[in-house]
Amino acid sequence: MPALEKVHHLLSGLPEEERKAFVELYPEKFAQTRSISTGELVGLSMALFSMGLVRLKGYFGGNQQHSKFASQVRDARHIEEAARCDMFVTFDKDAAELAEATFAYAGLSTKTFVLQRPPPEPHSPQEPPCAPV
């Protein structure tokens, strides 16, 4: 599903009053009609994340929940910084999906690219995986 369509799908699940408030705060393609304030794309990214654009894997409580939230805020800040660039490059598929949706909804031309990690090289059967100490 295209990124903008994902955002429309999320918004369609909101109660009408909440959807109107969201669209008033973040009108579609708002970056094409006015200057973006510092933190505005962070807010949009966090809102899309909170609405479930990308799924959390597993259960997070206590310190894990705090750590995951802090990590998500850093991702949102990186997304905002990348909005000034031609491309957002990451190893994180979820961050790329969130960035792509944020850029598409805001009306920005920044593209996303997910890097692939090379597979680990197998160890030779004659050599131990680590050198002896």
Q: What DSSP string describes the chain? A: --HHHHHHHHHHTS-HHHHHHHHHHS-TTGGGTSPPPTTHHHHHHHHHHHTTSSPPPS---HHHHHHHHHHHHHHHHHHHHHTTSSEEEES-HHHHHHHHHHHHHHT---EEEE--PPPPPPPPTTS-SS---
More confident residue, 85 or 66: 85
3 with 64: CB under 8 angstroms?
Answer: no
Q: Whole-model pTM?
A: 0.81
pLDDT at position 129:
63
| DSSP one-letter string for 62-90 | HHHHHHHHHHHHHHHHHHHHHTTSSEEEE
What is the pLDDT, as a whole number, of residue 68? 72
**Which has more pLDDT, 114 or 66?**
114
Domain assignments of the chain as residue spans, ordered by start: 3-114
Q: What is the mean pLDDT of residues 83-110?
A: 96
pLDDT digits (tens, 9 = 90+) for 99-113: 999 999 999 999 999
- Encode pLDDT of 48-64 as tens digits: 999 999 876 545 566 66
CB-based contact 47:23 (threshold 8 Å): no
pLDDT of residue 125: 63
Does 29 score more than 70 pLDDT? yes
Q: What is the pLDDT of residue 71?
A: 85
